[in-house]
Chain A
Amino acid sequence: EIVLTQSPGTLSLSPGERATLSCRASQSVRSSKLAWYQQKPGQAPRLLLYAASNRATDIPDRFSGSGSATDFTLTISRLEPEDFALYFCQHYGSSPVSFGQGTKLEIK
């Protein structure tokens, strides 16, 4: 089973700043099959990116993803107030799929 480790655990930034979130896999993720989700308190997770760098439907272009093999990054270019939330990565290149433990993006 692939273990995903996200860092940092908490990221404190101000609106307008750039956020960089990391997701590291214990083994290579086949075909860069990695997704990113956003979750706000009391809400369902929302798909942001898939295949490491492809934005899901209706996701603003300030969200971007990069990486391959074992190292992946989610970048939010200029933080909006609604971007402060919990972010998870998930690999789906092999079974079982698994999720990272999450990065909490909080307002500084």
Chain B
Amino acid sequence: QVQLVESGGAGVPPGGSLRLSCAASGFTFSNFGMHWVRQAPGRGLEWVAVVGHGGRPAYYAGSVEGRFTVSRDNSKSTLYLQMGSLRAEDTAVYHCAKEISPYAGDWYFDLWGQGTLVTVSS
């Protein structure tokens, strides 16, 4: 079954850290760039980060640059997002998403996970 399943979301205090995972199945994970996109409660979607199919390059939204790190383990078909120095405004459902074309494709997405909720609150 072709799917992405996120995990790792939790409630954390401001300044805390968290690592999210996204397990992929049903397609050749190592062929595709992968992204994180978040959705704050009642808000729209915000692109967060991307990692290339081979693990590089990685790019970030300005709002998370220097605090978040995206990585992947192609042997485990898993994408990660290491989140640090968390702020209240990072509260959101975090989705992983797959680029539609293999290798260096355009950044739009034909497969998304349902998301995992991160709540940053004291």
Q: Residues on A close to B: CB < 8 A?
A: 33, 35, 42-47, 50, 56-57, 88, 90, 92, 95-102
Contact A42 B61, CB 8 Å, known A33-B106, A47-B108, A92-B108? no
Contact A98 B47, CB 8 Å, known A44-B113, A44-B115? yes
A43 to B93, CA, bound (A): 11
Residues of A within 8 A of B44 (CB): 88, 99-102
A96, B61: Cβ atoms closer than 8 Å: yes
List 10 interface pairs A-B (beta carbons < 8 Å), by A numbering: A42-B114, A45-B95, A46-B112, A47-B108, A56-B110, A95-B59, A96-B47, A96-B59, A98-B46, A98-B47
Residues of A within 8 A of B107 (CB): 92, 95, 97
Contact A99 B45, CB 8 Å, known A45-B95, A92-B106? yes
Residues of B within 8 A of A45 (CB): 45, 95, 97, 109, 112
B43, A101: Cβ atoms closer than 8 Å: yes
B100 near A: Cβ within 8 Å? yes
Task: For B109, give the chain A residue with the smallest CB separation.
Answer: A47
Residues of B within 8 A of A50 (CB): 100, 106, 108
Task: For B106, give the chain A residue with the smallest CB separation.
Answer: A92
Give 16 A-B pairs besides A35-B108, A47-B110, A99-B37 with Cβ atoms closer than 8 angstroms: A35-B109, A44-B4, A44-B112, A44-B113, A45-B95, A46-B112, A47-B100, A50-B108, A56-B110, A88-B44, A88-B45, A90-B45, A92-B106, A97-B108, A99-B47, A101-B43
CB distance from B58 to the nearest CB of A (A): 13
A100 to B46, CA, bound (A): 9
A24 to B19, CA, bound (A): 35
Residues of B within 8 A of A57 (CB): 110
CB distance from B53 to the nearest CB of A (A): 17
Task: For B113, give the chain A residue with the smallest CB separation.
Answer: A44
Residues of A within 8 A of B113 (CB): 44
Docked complex: B3-48 residues within 8 A CB-CB of A: 4, 37, 43-47
A19 to B113, CA, bound (A): 27
A101 to B44, CA, bound (A): 4
Residues of B within 8 A of A100 (CB): 44
